[in-house]
Every structure is written in structure tokens, then in C-alpha cells.
A and B are shown apart, each in its own frame.
Chain A
Amino acid sequence: MSEILLKIENLFVQYDTEEGIVQAVDDVSLEVMREEVFGLVGESGCGKSTLALSIMGLLSKPMGRIVSGHIYLNDTDLVGMSQEELRNIRGKNISMIFQDPTASLNPVFTVGDQLIEAYRAHDKNIEMDAAKSKATGMLRKVGISNPETRITQYPHEFSGGMKQRAMIAIGLANNPQLLIADEPTTNLDVTIQAQILELMSDLKKEYSSSILLITHNLGVVAELADRVGVMYAGRMAEIGTARQIFHDPQHPYTKGLINSLPGFKSRSDRLPIIPGRVPNLVRPPSGCRFHPRCPYASEQCAVEASKGRIIDGRYVSCHMGIKDLEGKAGIRYEQ
């Protein structure tokens, strides 16, 4: 069995909008290893959620479509699969938990019904009683006390943190190989976020699932992820281990983001900022999409985007960053 669980190769995804075609994911490649937490970071509109929906085969149709590229799960390409085939994979091999647990649980069914449905959808022969006891056990595992009563309750009887626990239980029901978690703690309070992060790192040890963790919160990524990909305006800026990304970023966008976080030591009164704003993807900037905001941009950057290279196991898509890694004079970040 190969070490690579999920391999995305040169993926292009477009949306039709009133303003025109948006290239939401533009030539993105990444690999998620078995039993790894891969953190995907970026700001709103950078394409990180679109990437997740593409993997799940859940792009809204007909506006969204995969134009080209491949998504291999265990060497099987998911791109071009029929909905029928995808349905067999979703929930069983891959499952997803969303940012807003309130919107992703069905309000007219009990939490138990929804969890039992997850079992029955992929195992037609399972007895109702067996499914029920599995569901109870799963709720207990995600830290919901008194699960025998809880499975008979409706989502509105659960608090926000409890709903997210229930979503995680549904996501893990069939012991998927890949769990996609899209901003799993964003709507939660700080202390509840801590509970959910703790739960996810415990479950990561217990189950041998890989997790694709999508978030804009760099702190959450630093705590959970083994490797990290940083996306900007539909493209992958860089991929590396968590330590490489946080201690030695090679893309000026990553560096800028980390430096601009408030509240950490060695911060003066003025935070170093990334100037400008996130571009509109209907008319993205020429060349490297970050060049209008990049303090290191050269003329080359405005004309031609870096093709991206893998050097010493890390991917960088920046002319200057690549030179740096090759030992030539590129950006000399002040430490």
C-alpha cells in the first residue's frame, strides 16, 4: 500500500458567476499521506473550500466544475466518476465536517437518526439494533455524555459545541480513510474550540484516518497539522512541514501572514502588514497573483507566475523563494 492516500494533480476548478468565470482553483497539486493531518490555510475566497468540495464531488452544479486535473484516492481517480460511484465513497472512504454544524444537521431528524443513517447508508445489512448501539458508542467516544438519551434528541437540543461533536461522530462513523474538516472550530467559543481540538487530536491517535484540516486560523493549524499548504487567490503558495512553514516560510505571503498576527512576543506596537487587499478572481492580477501586494516582487513576477518547484521535499511557488532554497540570493528575510 502506498504511503500517499490522496493525490491531487494539477486541479483546475471554475465557477460561473454574474461577473464572469472565476478560476477558483488554479493548477493546484498536493498529497495527503496516510495518518497525516494536512493543514490547508488561506483567506476567504482563496479556493480552500472549493478544493474540499471538489474532492467530495459536491461542487454546486451547473455553476461549478472541474475543468481538468486528477484527484486520486488510493490511486483511483475521483474526477469523472459517476454520482453513484461517488456516493459509495462519500461517508465511507471520505467524509467531511463543516464550519456550521447548525446548518449541516437536519433539524427534523433526531441526532441518532442521522448517525444511524450514516451506518445504514454503507451497510444495507446492518440490524437496526446494531446500528443504534454503534451510534451510542460513537457519541460517547466524541465526548457526549449520556448518549442513550442524546440520540433521541433533535439538533436544536444540542449546544454549538455538542453539535460539532455530533458532526464529528457522523463523519467518523464508517471509519473513513480521509476526514475533511472545513473550519471545524471557527464558530465556536475559545474554550469550546479547545475541547474540539483536543478531541480531534485524540481521535487522530485512535483512528488511523488522515485529516485534511481547512482553516484560516494559523494557530489551529500549528497545533494540529503535520504538514501545511498555504493557498492564495486560487493557487498554492507553498507546502511544507508545519515547522518549515512557521519557522522558515519561503513564500512572502506566508511570511506576511505570520508576521501580521497580533499579540505574540517580539511584536512592536505596529504590526508588519500585507498591503492592499485580496484580489477579485474574475480579473486576477497578471503573473504571480500576489505580486501587487508583495514587497519583494520583481518585474518578472508581474509577467510570469512561478511554476513552482519541489526542493528538499517542500513545494514553493515563488521566483525568489526558489532561489533562496537553491542557496542563491533570493529574499533575505530578517529573522
Chain B
Amino acid sequence: MNSKILIDVKGLKKYFPVEAGLFMRKIADLKAVDDVSFNIMRGESMGLVGESGCGKTTVGRCILRLIEPTAGKVYFDGTDITSLEKEELRTFRSQMQLIFQDPYSSLNPRLTVGDIISEPLLIHQKIDKKDINERIRRLMVEVGLSPSQSRRYPHEFSGGQKQRISIARALSVVPNFIVADEPVAALDMSIRAQILNLMKDLQAKYGLTYLIISHDLTVIKHMCNRIMVMYLGNLVEVAERDSLFKRPYHPYSFALISAIPIPDPSIRKKRIILKGEVPAPINPPSGCRFHPRCQYAKDLCSEKAPVLEEIVKNHFVACHFADGIEPPEGSIVEF
């Protein structure tokens, strides 16, 4: 095993049963994540981007085994965590943490900030009780909070400060891998940059590895060195950041990138308007799941699902015709 790889995901599937009727019999599977494989290098920031319902949050939770995958393996530093028993899993958990989108509902309103931050520490028994206050103090300073506020409750803090509390909680057990699921989506504009800077600083200082999940390509572009694009439970493109934004190869990526509203009135790019909406994952289209919305689709696309293939170095795309298509003139501008 290459020691540069921290997270290695192989053939990950997560199906949620769809139940109906009086006896709640299973009538179908909702294929939230359907055969996804990728790896994350030590110290890198991997971005996972896609629209609501594409399965990006489910991928994040399966990696941490907060939900049980239906199939597939997740190797963390060489160990398959999908086969770990509860106790073993718990020791692994201290190495991986999650930052949620909504700092308003992810903090227990009945605990003080100090208790929230130290809770993971106590669970993982990483510290003597007597050292705890000093640790809380240091963590609060680290994320830009005043230690004198450790006895306050979450409702006394603003959204940005609450997200700082979540970050302090995640850091408390000295993890080496953090999944951040829409870390700034719920925050005000002038606060987002503060939190993104904090996440970058902490990564540099502690050598953290991030998986950042977001629908916002500007956040992903700023934070990540590699990016995965997800559509209806599948990865459609995986590439290094600059490579993806300069020359995307998947028609869905064309549309996503061209749809980013650019805060510069002198840039007029051509938006690619996709037909229709994302279909329901309960009954996904045959073949390539994107084909009903794809302007380049041919017969093959509805018959056979494409797999990720390397089209140029370190740039993977799942499209039968990636070789022959180009983004429409003026749709991809440098920004």
C-alpha cells in the first residue's frame, strides 16, 4: 500500500430502501451512491461537488461510517474500516472528524461551549481531567474564540462563531482527516472568508487532510487541490483543480462551471442551460445517468454506463465521448 494514500474508497455503494404500504415492505432501492471509487492523499484537500440529492453527503458519511455502506470498502491508512467492530471503530474515529453545514443544529444547546469542545476528548479518553481546561482554552484561542466564553451556551454565539466551535470540537482529538460538509453555506458572506482562512491555517499547521463537500464551486476552487464531480450517485469527473476549471471533459462539468455567477459585470460568458432537472435517484436513467439532459448524447449513452478513465494525466472522466466533445465557445472563462 502506498503510504501517501490516506483514504482509499473502493466500489462504495449505499442503497436506501424505499418502503411503502401497510407493512412497509421494501419496494425499491434508492441508489444514493452507486459504485464510487477514489482516494485521498495525505495532506491534500479533496473537493466533492454536485447538486442536491447527488449523494455527496452520503459519501462523506459512509467514509466515516456514520452510516453503513451497502457494499464497498473504505481503507483508512491501510485499514478497512468497513469491517471494524464497534470498539475498534471508536479508536479510529478519533482520527477522523466531521464539520457540519448547520452550526445551529449541530451543537447541543444544553451544553456549554467548553463541554462541547471537550466531549470528544473525554469519549476518546485522550486527556486527564485536570488538563482539560487548559486544552479547551488552547483550542478556543486556536480557532479565534475568546477562552473567557467557554462557559457560555451556543445560542449566545453568532453563526460564524458557532462554526468556529464546531471546528474546535473536531480538532480536540487531534484528527488527521476532516470531512467538512458545506462548511460555510449557512454563513453570511462577510464571515465565509474568515472560516475558510481558518480551515486553511489549521491544515497547514497540523497537516490535516480534508474532504470538502459543497455545491458551491467557488468554495471548492479556493480550498481544494483535487476535485470530484458527482451526478446522481456516480463520479463523472475527477481532476486536479486547475485542470478541471481550465478544460473540463464531462458535459455535466461544462454546465456546472459555466453556471457559476461571476462577480464581474465585464465578463459575459455563455451559460450552458441543461434541459430539465436532476431525475429521482429511485429510478435513474439507464446507461449514463446524465444522458437525458446531455446535448451530446448518442444511442450508446442510454445503453451502457461509462466508467472513469484517465483522459489526460491525472484527469479522469466517465463519458463515452469525452474525446470528441469540447465545451461550447465562450462557456468556460478563466476567473
- Residues of chain A whose beta carbon lies under 8 Å from any beta carbon of chain B: 43-44, 159, 161-162, 189-195, 197-198, 216-223, 225, 242-243, 246-247, 256-258, 260-265, 267, 269-275, 277-278, 293
Q: Is the Cβ of B273 less than 8 Å from the Cβ of A194?
A: yes
Question: Provided the pairs A161-B277, A261-B218 are in contact, do residues A273 and B194 lie with their beta carbons within 8 angstroms?
Answer: yes
User: What residues of chain A lie closer than 8 Å to B189, measured between beta carbons?
Assistant: 43, 216, 218, 257, 260-261
Q: Interface size on B (CB < 8 Å)?
A: 43
User: What residues of chain A lie closer than 8 Å to B217, measured between beta carbons?
Assistant: 190, 263
Please name 9 further chain A to chain B contacts, defined as beta carbons within 8 Å, in addition to the given A159-B277, A216-B189, A219-B260, sorted by A numbering: A189-B52, A194-B274, A216-B188, A221-B263, A263-B220, A264-B263, A273-B190, A277-B158, A277-B191
Q: Is the Cβ of B271 less than 8 Å from the Cβ of A262?
A: no
Question: Provided the pairs A189-B51, A216-B189 are in contact, do residues A262 and B223 lie with their beta carbons within 8 angstroms?
Answer: yes
Q: Which residue of A lies closest to B272 (CB)?
A: A194
Question: Provided the pairs A189-B215, A262-B222, A263-B217 are in contact, do residues A274 and B190 lie with their beta carbons within 8 angstroms?
Answer: yes
Alpha-carbon separation in the docked complex, A198 to B273 (Å): 8
User: What residues of chain B lie closer than 8 Å to A273, measured between beta carbons?
Assistant: 190, 193-194, 197
Q: Is the Cβ of B273 less than 8 Å from the Cβ of A277?
A: no
Kindly identify, within residues 260 to 307 of chain B, every residue whose CB is under 8 Å from any CB belonging to chain A.
Answer: 260-266, 271-274, 277-278
| Most chain A Cβ neighbours within 10 Å, of B192, B197, B219, B261 | B261
16 A-B interface contacts by CB (under 8 A): A161-B277, A162-B277, A191-B274, A192-B277, A193-B261, A216-B188, A223-B262, A243-B265, A258-B263, A263-B218, A264-B263, A265-B334, A271-B196, A273-B194, A273-B197, A277-B190
Tell me the smallest distance from the CB of B277 to a CB of chain A, in Å. 5
Q: Which of B33-41, B77-85, B90-98, B251-259 lies on the face that meets chain A?
A: B251-259
Q: Within 8 Å of chain A (Cβ to Cβ): is B200?
A: yes
Q: Is the Cβ of B160 less than 8 Å from the Cβ of A277?
A: yes
Q: Is the Cβ of A272 less than 8 Å from the Cβ of B193?
A: yes
Q: Is the Cβ of A261 less than 8 Å from the Cβ of B263?
A: yes
User: What residues of chain B lie closer than 8 Å to A223, measured between beta carbons?
Assistant: 261-262, 265
Q: Is the Cβ of B223 less than 8 Å from the Cβ of A246?
A: no
Q: Is the Cβ of B273 less than 8 Å from the Cβ of A195?
A: yes
User: What residues of chain A lie closer than 8 Å to B263, measured between beta carbons?
Assistant: 218-219, 221-222, 246, 258, 261, 264
| Most chain A Cβ neighbours within 10 Å, of B51, B161, B219, B264 | B264
Alpha-carbon separation in the docked complex, A327 to B277 (Å): 52
Q: Is the Cβ of B188 less than 8 Å from the Cβ of A194?
A: no
Alpha-carbon separation in the docked complex, A220 to B278 (Å): 22
Q: Is the Cβ of A191 less than 8 Å from the Cβ of B256?
A: yes
Q: Which residue of B lies closest to A278 (CB)?
A: B188
Alpha-carbon separation in the docked complex, A193 to B51 (Å): 11
Q: Which residue of B lies closest to A277 (CB)?
A: B158
Q: Is the Cβ of A262 less than 8 Å from the Cβ of B215?
A: no
User: What residues of chain A lie closer than 8 Å to B23, measured between beta carbons?
Assistant: none
Alpha-carbon separation in the docked complex, A277 to B156 (Å): 13
Q: Is the Cβ of B274 less than 8 Å from the Cβ of A195?
A: yes
Q: Within 8 Å of chain A (Cβ to Cβ): is B138?
A: no
User: What residues of chain B lie closer than 8 Å to A272, measured between beta carbons?
Assistant: 193
Q: Is the Cβ of A246 less than 8 Å from the Cβ of B221?
A: no
8 shortest A-B CB distances, which residue pairs?
A: A219-B261, A263-B218, A262-B222, A260-B193, A194-B259, A263-B221, A271-B193, A189-B51
User: What residues of chain B lie closer than 8 Å to A198, measured between beta carbons?
Assistant: 271, 273
Alpha-carbon separation in the docked complex, A243 to B267 (Å): 11
User: What residues of chain B lie closer than 8 Å to A256, measured between beta carbons?
Assistant: 190
User: What residues of chain B lie closer than 8 Å to A159, measured between beta carbons?
Assistant: 277
| Most chain B Cβ neighbours within 10 Å, of A161, A194, A263 | A263
Per-residue CB contact flags for chain B residues 45-78 toward chain A (1 = under 8 Å, else 0) read: 0000001100000000000000000000000000
In the complex, which of the residues A190, A220, A267 contacts B256, with contact meaning CB atoms closer than 8 Å?
A190
Tell me the smallest distance from the CB of B270 to a CB of chain A, in Å. 10
Alpha-carbon separation in the docked complex, A293 to B256 (Å): 35
Tell me the smallest distance from the CB of B179 to a CB of chain A, in Å. 19
User: What residues of chain A lie closer than 8 Å to B264, measured between beta carbons?
Assistant: 222, 246-247
User: What residues of chain B lie closer than 8 Å to A220, measured between beta carbons?
Assistant: 261
User: What residues of chain A lie closer than 8 Å to B219, measured between beta carbons?
Assistant: 262-263
In the complex, which of the residues B161, B215, B271, B278 contacts A197, with contact meaning CB atoms closer than 8 Å?
B271
User: What residues of chain A lie closer than 8 Å to B260, measured between beta carbons?
Assistant: 190, 219
Tell me the smallest distance from the CB of A40 to a CB of chain B, in Å. 14
| Most chain B Cβ neighbours within 10 Å, of A225, A258, A265, A277 | A277
Alpha-carbon separation in the docked complex, A326 to B201 (Å): 40
Alpha-carbon separation in the docked complex, A85 to B133 (Å): 63
Alpha-carbon separation in the docked complex, A278 to B160 (Å): 10
Per-residue CB contact flags for chain B residues 197-227 toward chain A (1 = under 8 Å, else 0) read: 1001100000000000001011111110000
Question: Provided the pairs A159-B277, A194-B271, A269-B200 are in contact, do residues A242 and B265 lie with their beta carbons within 8 angstroms?
Answer: yes
Alpha-carbon separation in the docked complex, A198 to B51 (Å): 19
Q: Which residue of A lies closest to B271 (CB)?
A: A194
Q: Which residue of A lies closest to B161 (CB)?
A: A277
Q: Which residue of B lies closest to A219 (CB)?
A: B261
Q: Which residue of B lies closest to A244 (CB)?
A: B265
Tell me the smallest distance from the CB of A138 to a CB of chain B, in Å. 20
Q: Is the Cβ of B271 less than 8 Å from the Cβ of A222?
A: no
Q: Which residue of B lies closest to A232 (CB)?
A: B190
Question: Provided the pairs A247-B266, A262-B219 are in contact, do residues A274 and B259 lie with their beta carbons within 8 angstroms?
Answer: no
Q: Which residue of A lies closest to B266 (CB)?
A: A243
Q: Is the Cβ of B261 less than 8 Å from the Cβ of A217?
A: yes
Q: Is the Cβ of B222 less than 8 Å from the Cβ of A263?
A: yes
Q: Is the Cβ of B262 less than 8 Å from the Cβ of A222?
A: yes
Q: Is the Cβ of B192 less than 8 Å from the Cβ of A260?
A: yes
Q: Is the Cβ of A191 less than 8 Å from the Cβ of B222?
A: no
User: What residues of chain B lie closer than 8 Å to A218, measured between beta carbons?
Assistant: 189, 263
User: What residues of chain A lie closer than 8 Å to B262, measured between beta carbons?
Assistant: 219, 222-223, 264
In the complex, which of the residues A222, A225, A262, A277 contacts B193, with contact meaning CB atoms closer than 8 Å?
A262
